[in-house]
Amino acid sequence: MIDTVKIAKALSDPIRYKMMLMLAQSEEGCCPIPGEDDQRPGLCNCEFMSALGMIQSRVSYHMKELVDAGLVKEEPRGKWKMYFINTKTLRQYMEQLTQDFAL
Amino acid sequence: MIDTVKIAKALSDPIRYKMMLMLAQSEEGCCPIPGEDDQRPGLCNCEFMSALGMIQSRVSYHMKELVDAGLVKEEPRGKWKMYFINTKTLRQYMEQLTQDFAL
DNA sequence: ATATAATATTAAAATAATTTGATATGTCAA
DNA sequence: TTGACATATCAAATTATTTTAATATTATAT
């Protein structure tokens, strides 16, 4: 079962919302591993650091919040960690809102 | 334009989420004014106080947050103030999420 | 094995949100 | 008008969240 309040909390920070937008809009992955052809969308920490002007530990902290809420999936990829948006959770969140509030 | 982050923040507190659920589920209004037949759903502060065991100023504070986010409409009604859920904002919120995250 | 690079964790400081009790405002009824 | 009741506001105390800098961990390449 989905924790609506927790998801709302994860979405309630402007930085985290921007991160989610970045993930949703990322067309091609950053930090591709040479020799591998997997170019799935997804971003690594460094992208958020440069795009949002944040230090590394701050990015890491917010990413953890998003992952804990189930909004983002992560996958180690070489020496980087790639992040992907988890649209399933977002859809479940909206479904729950629809039910809870009879929309 | 809708402020997604602000709405998420309003929904991110367990007390406020419960209040929203109460508003969504209220079948008939409390504190009806004698002689008036308007029995639209809606609740007044006293309902939240007794149902959630909260003191008045706390209820008032959280209600203000919900109203400020556009999730709740209020209407003075005799010496009480009645609160109604604003489903339009919730629908707009979900629409925005759908767009922002390509759901 | 060592050096380098990317991310994670930690503890402290800074900031923000919530709770409470006291008081103020507004409405109705007598 | 006064008294009673419902809600609003305020300031202080509490609690939670966020930020930072330092350090630890993990993986890669030489």
Residue B60 approaches strand D within 7 Å at CB: yes
B95 vs B75, residue with greater confidence: B95
pLDDT at B87 over 70: yes
Q: What is the largest CA-CA distance in chain B?
A: 51
pLDDT of the residue at A28: 63
Does the model's ipTM exceed the 0.95 cut? no
CA distance B3 to A15: 14
Report if residue A35 sits inside a domain: no
Inter-chain touch A12–B14, beta carbons under 8 Å:
no
Q: Total structural domains in chain A?
A: 1
Alpha carbon of B91: minimum distance to chain A alpha carbons (Å)? 7
pLDDT of the residue at B32: 58
Q: Which of residues 84-103 of B touch A (CB under 8 A)?
A: 85, 87, 90-91, 93-94, 97-98, 100-103
Report if residue B33 sits inside a domain: no
Pick from A80, A89, A84, A81: nearest CA to A20:
A84
Q: Which pLDDT tens digit goes with each residue over B57-80?
A: 999 999 999 999 999 999 998 889
Helix/strand/coil (H, E, C) string of chain B? CCCHHHHHHHHCCHHHHHHHHHHHHCCCCCCCCCCCCCCCCCEEHHHHHHHHCCCHHHHHHHHHHHHHCCCEEEEEECCEEEEEECHHHHHHHHHHHHHHCCC
pLDDT of the residue at A78: 82
DSSP code, position A57 = H
- Expressed as residue numbers, the domain containing A81 is 4-29+41-100
pLDDT in tens, chain A (103 residues): 899 999 999 999 999 999 999 999 987 666 655 544 444 567 889 999 999 999 999 999 999 999 999 999 999 888 899 999 999 999 999 999 999 999 9
Pick from A64, A69, A22: nearest CA to A47:
A22
Task: Tell me the pLDDT of chain B averaged across its residues.
Answer: 89
Phi, psi (degrees; rounded to nearest 5) at B98:
-60, -45
Report if residue B36 sits inside a domain: no
Which residues from B are below 8 Å from A83, CB to CB? Answer: none
pLDDT of the residue at A35: 47
What pLDDT band is residue B55 in, cutting at 50, 70 and 90?
Answer: very high
Which CATH number covers residue A82? 1.10.10.10
pLDDT of the residue at B28: 63
Q: What is the separation of C-alpha A6 from the centre of its chain, rounded to a whole number of angstroms?
A: 15
Measuring alpha carbon to C1', the residue closest to nucleotide C8 is A60
Chain A, nearest residue to B15 by Cα: A5
Helix axis angle for A56-68 and A45-52, nearest 10°, is 120
Report if residue A11 sits inside a domain: yes
- Among A12, A90, A94, the residue with its CB nearest the CB of B9 is A12
